Amino acid sequence: MRLAGKILLYFLAFGVVGYSAVVYSLLPMGAAVHPDMKADFVAHSAFIYTHIMAAIVALALGPFQFSTRLRRRNLRLHRWLGRLYLGIGVLVGGMAGLYISQFAFGGLAALLGFASLAMCWLFTGLRACRAARNGAIEQHRKWMVRNFALTFAAVTLRIYVPASLAGGVDFAVAYPIIAWLCWVPNLLVVEWYLNTANAARPRLA
């Protein structure tokens, strides 16, 4: 990953981590969401808090897991951060996200979008964990790239929502679309990246 890309990744990830930590620790539940969503946020606040705080762990630790320097200098730390990322961030965050998806604003389309995101997040995390335990490091790396692309939905969601509001799109129309838009393109981009990298290796060899 080029330097500019790394800087942007860290900036966006830590920006959302900071924003979420402040909003969900200092403000009343539902204070920063659309008014139409506030009632469900308050009614299911325990699961919302669980999902948000676990996702903060994943989004904060994720970028460090792709640091080649960290892996080379302190592999043990890399492994422990990975356990926290997958065990707390993805497992806890994914299970809580799957539960609250049934209350998603926007009807069936939004429900299916967020439920699919949670299931893909859990599935790719499981595959990454299994690959690491089996010593399949290259497969572990690929599944972690896919998994973090889904973690990054926390960022893209917070880009698309204000962008749609600024563009004058009705929230009830935009949100079910964003429930898919926040993660499907992320996954498509990393699949293209992984396939391109694989295709380039024989030529480089």
The answer for residues whose C-beta is within 8 angstroms of residue 58's C-beta and 6 or more apart is 85, 88, 89, 90, 93, 151
Residue 182 CB neighbour total at 10 angstroms: 23
Query: Quick one: average pLDDT of 14-34?
Result: 93
> Quick one: pLDDT band at residue 201, thresholds 50, 70, 90?
low
Q: Please state, in angstroms and as integers, the Cα–Cα distance from residue 102 to each residue in 87, 97, 107, 109, following that order.
A: 23, 9, 9, 11
> Quick one: pLDDT band at residue 200, thresholds 50, 70, 90?
low
* Residue range(s) defining the domain that contains residue 185: 3-204
In this structure, the chain runs to a length of 205
The per-residue pLDDT for range 98-108, each reduced to its tens digit, is 999 999 999 99
Q: Please state, in angstroms and as integers, the Cα–Cα distance from residue 10 to each residue in 26, 66, 134, following that order.
A: 23, 11, 30
The per-residue pLDDT for range 130-144, each reduced to its tens digit, is 999 999 999 999 999
Backbone angles phi, psi at 29, to 5 degrees: -55, 130
pLDDT score, position 204: 42
Q: What's the token pair of residue 116? A: 């699919």
Q: Tell whether the model's pLDDT for residue 128 goes beyond 80.
A: yes
Q: Tell whether the model's pLDDT for residue 202 goes beyond 60.
A: no
Calculate the dihedral angle through the C-alpha atoms of 42, 43, 47, 48, rounding to the nearest 10 degrees.
-30
Q: Tell whether the model's pLDDT for residue 198 goes beyond 80.
A: no
Query: Quick one: average pLDDT of 5-26?
Result: 93
Q: Tell whether the model's pLDDT for residue 127 goes beyond 90.
A: yes
Which residue, chain included where needed, has tokens 């981590």? 17
Measure the CA–CA gap between 148 and 15, rounded to whole angstroms: 16
182 CA to centre of own chain: 9
Q: Which amino acid is at 60?
A: A
pLDDT score, position 205: 42
Count of structural domains within the chain: 1
